[in-house]
């Protein structure tokens, strides 16, 4: 947030939360964040055949569409190991990977829940909204 020690910490977070710290270590790269977390869970002995993503830290849908597409594409690509050129391709490969994405939660505001935003969220594979 505004008083955070971290330049890119969002309004509602200090930057010291475990999820925030993992994001900082991966330099906010969604592919690396996902790959590192999946590997960490495997090393702890967890079976990582299913994951759920929570896109936290603000109004994701207010970001530019090309960045949103890049971010979501890389979440899916991190599961499949494939480097896709579109969200649709990334979702297709992710659906066939050993580690399946069973849900994506996106934090947003009511003014970013219009038809266009909802259509994009469905394209991303969003299964739940957190509206605040």
Measuring CA to CA, which residue among 63, 52, 82, 77 is closest to residue 8?
Answer: 63
Give the per-residue pLDDT at 9: 46
Give the per-residue pLDDT at 2: 38
Give the mean model confidence (pLDDT) for residues 33-42. 91
Give the per-residue pLDDT at 22: 73
How far, in Å, CA of 105 to CA of 98, rounded? Answer: 21
How far, in Å, CA of 94 to CA of 101, rounded? Answer: 7
Longest CA–CA separation in the chain, Å: 43
Note the residue count of the chain.
Answer: 132
Instruction: Give the model's confidence band at 16: pLDDT under 50 very low, under 70 low, under 90 confident, else very high.
Output: low
Give the mean model confidence (pLDDT) for residues 23-51. 89
Q: What sign results for the dihedral spanned by CA atoms 70, 73, 77, 83? A: negative
Give the per-residue pLDDT at 48: 94
More confident residue, 79 or 18: 79
Give the per-residue pLDDT at 69: 97
Q: Is the pLDDT of residue 66 over 90?
A: yes
Chain centroid to CA 34: 8
Q: Is the pLDDT of residue 4 over 60?
A: no
DSSP string, the chain: -TT-SSTT--TT--S-SHHHHHHHHTTT-HHHHHHHHHHHHHHTT---SEEEEEE-SS-GGGS-HHHHHHHHHHHHHHHH----SSHHHHHHHHHTSSSEEEEEEEEE-GGG-SHHHHHHHHHHT--EEEE-
Q: What percentage of the chain has pLDDT greater than the value 90?
A: 73
Q: What is the pTM of this model?
A: 0.83
Instruction: Give the model's confidence band at 12: pLDDT under 50 very low, under 70 low, under 90 confident, else very high.
Output: low
128: left (phi over 0), alpha (psi -120 to 50) or beta: beta
């Amino acid at each position: 947030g505004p008083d955070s020690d971290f330049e890119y910490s969002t309004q509602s977070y200090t930057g010291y939360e475990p999820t925030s710290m993992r994001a900082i270590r991966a330099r906010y790269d969604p592919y690396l964040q996902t790959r590192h977390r999946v590997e960490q869970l495997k090393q702890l002995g967890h079976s990582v055949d299913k994951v759920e993503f929570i896109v936290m830290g603000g109004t994701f849908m207010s970001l530019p569409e090309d960045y949103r597409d890049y971010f979501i594409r890389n979440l899916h690509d991190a599961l499949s190991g494939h480097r896709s050129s579109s969200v649709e391709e990334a979702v297709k490969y992710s659906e066939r990977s050993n580690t399946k994405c069973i849900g994506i939660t996106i934090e947003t505001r009511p003014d970013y829940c219009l038809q266009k935003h909802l259509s994009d969220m469905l394209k991303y594979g969003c299964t739940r909204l957190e509206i605040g």
